[in-house]
């Protein structure tokens, strides 16, 4: 038997117990096989690098030892903050406690907060947009946008810790994404170090690697999770944004393999389907997450459209198929979408949660009935298309009534 554990204090569990963290019912056999395979993938890494007595090799070449900190390795840092760690926050918080802002925002705080804060500040200062408020040169768009998000995460942590000055300074830096938006092109455009724009290519925002990493500006430009309202205003309003998002999916090939539009094969777009929730069209989140789950994840050689990236690709499926996924890690909000399964039970860790489990029931669910008509949370009508982490960790039942046509009145509050 393959085990996922080394030591009880690490929070890793034997295989059967680990895969029992989420139980799903109904759905096709292939969907259940895909789900549990994906869940298994999400628990392989980050793997424990400490010995059973807490010793591990430090960056200084010395052997260090801790009874409270578990040294881990094998991260895909550009990827796993999007889905992998928000999933582990729900099912394996003992792993997430070493990962700072998102963990702290969700009440997972049994770590050396002062030292973590110091290291986090050093990181955002070392890798940031600098005095000019953007990063110029190669990968200008990707770096500027993602550094702005990192600054927001640090500002969020500072705010939660009552460090008002730091929160204000880094919170302002979170808006630096605006500095690479070219109003003459109505989209993001890379800048040179001297502040001038890079030449606009014939393919426009579809040009691969035009100021972006493993993407194009059309894909990377949606990465402003920390300020979706500001992004929407910059782009021309919610209707224009809805149409543009719709266009991404309309132009995406059926198998969603590597392409210039919705490229599920790589992580910069993974939050995009859930943006519809944020701009007032939650039924489109439901439509497209169900479509992605059905068209992309299968048994077989092409069961994943891209590199697993240390659990991120599979974690996206586990969350989306369960009916929950964040847009902005560091915020406690999880977007509600259409579950693949009629019953999903998330077993919570009693050391970090008040409740024993959180259950999502999708009544009348089927491949045709993908739209949420109404919802109840713990027996009371629930009008929102999102849940706060505290509502999940408290335990309870979210009931969703499903239908074949969009219910445009639900979820827009």
* pLDDT tens digits along 352-361: 999 999 999 9
Q: Are 289 and 351 found together in one domain?
A: yes
Q: What is the pLDDT of residue 12?
A: 52
Q: Are 271 and 409 found together in one domain?
A: yes
> At which of 193, 221, 249 does a domain end?
221
pLDDT at 276 over 50: yes
Q: What is the pLDDT of residue 362?
A: 98
Average pLDDT over residues 135-163: 97
Q: What is the pLDDT of residue 320?
A: 98
**CATH, residue 127:** 1.20.1610.10
Closest CA to 147 of 226, 218, 46, 85: 226
Closest CA to 192 of 203, 179, 183: 179
Report the domain count for the chain: 2
Residue 89 forms part of a structural domain: no
Q: Are 24 and 168 found together in one domain?
A: no
Question: Which residues lie closer than 8 Å to 10 by C-beta, 6 or more apart?
Answer: 48, 50, 70, 94, 95
Closest CA to 73 of 94, 57, 90: 57
> At which of 157, 186, 221 does a domain end?
221
Q: Are 17 and 150 found together in one domain?
A: no
Residue 407 forms part of a structural domain: yes
Q: Are 243 and 202 found together in one domain?
A: no
Per the CB < 8 A criterion, the answer to whether 37 and 29 are in contact is: no
Owning domain of residue 337: 1-77+235-413
CA triplet 130, 133, 137: central angle to 5 degrees? 75
> At which of 221, 248, 278 does a domain end?
221
Q: Are 213 and 271 found together in one domain?
A: no
Q: Are 153 and 216 found together in one domain?
A: yes
Q: Is 56 helix (H, G, I), strand (E, B) or coil?
A: strand
pLDDT at 261 over 50: yes
Average pLDDT over residues 328-342: 97
Average pLDDT over residues 220-248: 98
**CATH, residue 328:** 3.30.2080.10
Weakest mean pLDDT among 92-106, 115-129, 270-284, 287-301: 92-106
Q: Are 216 and 244 found together in one domain?
A: no
pLDDT digits (tens, 9 = 90+) for 27-86: 899 999 999 999 999 999 888 889 999 999 988 889 999 888 888 888 787 899 999 999
Cα–Cα distance measured from residue 339 to residue 402, given in angstroms and rounded to the nearest whole number = 10
Task: Report percent pLDDT > 90 for the chain.
Answer: 85
Q: Are 372 and 293 found together in one domain?
A: yes
Q: What is the pLDDT of residue 93?
A: 93
Closest CA to 158 of 170, 146, 149, 148: 170
Q: What is the pLDDT of residue 5?
A: 28
Phi, psi of 116 (to 5 degrees): -60, -40
Closest CA to 337 of 396, 265, 255, 275: 275
pLDDT digits (tens, 9 = 90+) for 384-408: 999 999 999 999 999 999 999 999 9
Q: Which residue has the higher pLDDT, 181 or 307?
A: 181
Question: Where are the extended beta strands (E) located within 152-303?
Answer: 181-182, 187-188
Residue 2: which pLDDT band, with cuts at 50, 70 and 90?
very low
Per the CB < 8 A criterion, the answer to whether 142 and 211 are in contact is: yes
Q: Are 25 and 164 found together in one domain?
A: no
């Amino acid at each position: 038997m393959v085990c996922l554990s080394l030591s009880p204090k690490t929070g890793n569990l034997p295989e059967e117990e680990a895969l029992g963290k989420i139980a799903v019912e109904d759905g096709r056999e292939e969907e259940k096989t895909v789900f549990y395979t994906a869940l298994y993938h999400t628990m392989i890494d980050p793997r424990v690098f400490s010995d059973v007595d807490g010793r591990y090799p430090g960056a200084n070449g010395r052997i260090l030892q801790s009874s409270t900190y578990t040294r881990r390795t094998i991260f895909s840092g550009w990827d796993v903050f999007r889905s992998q760690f928000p999933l582990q926050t729900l099912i394996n918080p003992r792993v997430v406690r070493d990962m700072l802002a998102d963990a702290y925002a969700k009440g997972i705080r049994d770590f050396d907060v002062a030292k973590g804060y110091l290291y986090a500040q050093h990181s955002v200062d070392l890798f940031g947009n600098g005095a000019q408020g953007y990063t110029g040169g190669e990968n200008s768009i990707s770096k500027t946008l993602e550094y702005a998000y990192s600054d927001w995460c640090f500002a969020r942590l500072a705010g939660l810790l009552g460090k008002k000055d730091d929160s204000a300074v880094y919170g302002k830096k979170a808006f630096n994404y605006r500095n690479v938006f070219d109003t003459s092109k109505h989209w993001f455009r890379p800048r040179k170090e001297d502040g001038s724009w890079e030449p606009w290519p014939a393919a426009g925002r579809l040009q691969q690697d035009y100021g972006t990493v493993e993407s194009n500006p059309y894909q990377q430009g949606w990465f402003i999770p920390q300020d979706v309202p500001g992004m929407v205003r910059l782009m021309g309003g919610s209707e224009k944004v809805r149409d543009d998002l719709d266009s991404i999916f309309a132009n995406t090939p059926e198998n969603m393999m590597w392409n210039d539009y919705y490229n599920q094969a790589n992580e910069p777009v993974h939050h995009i389907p859930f943006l519809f929730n944020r701009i007032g069209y939650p039924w489109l989140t439901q439509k497209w997450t169900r479509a992605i789950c059905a068209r992309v994840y299968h048994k077989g050689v092409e069961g994943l459209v891209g590199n697993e990236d240390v659990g991120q690709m599979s974690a996206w499926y586990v969350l989306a198929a369960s009916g929950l996924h964040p847009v902005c890690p560091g915020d406690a909000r999880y977007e509600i979408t259409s579950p693949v399964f009629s019953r999903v039970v998330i077993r919570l860790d009693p050391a970090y949660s008040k409740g024993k489990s959180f259950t999502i029931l999708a009544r009348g669910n089927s491949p045709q009935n993908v739209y949420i008509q109404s919802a109840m949370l713990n027996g009371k009508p629930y009008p929102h298309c999102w849940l706060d982490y505290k509502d999940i960790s408290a335990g309870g039942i979210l009931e969703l009534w499903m239908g074949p046509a969009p219910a445009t009145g639900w979820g827009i509050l």
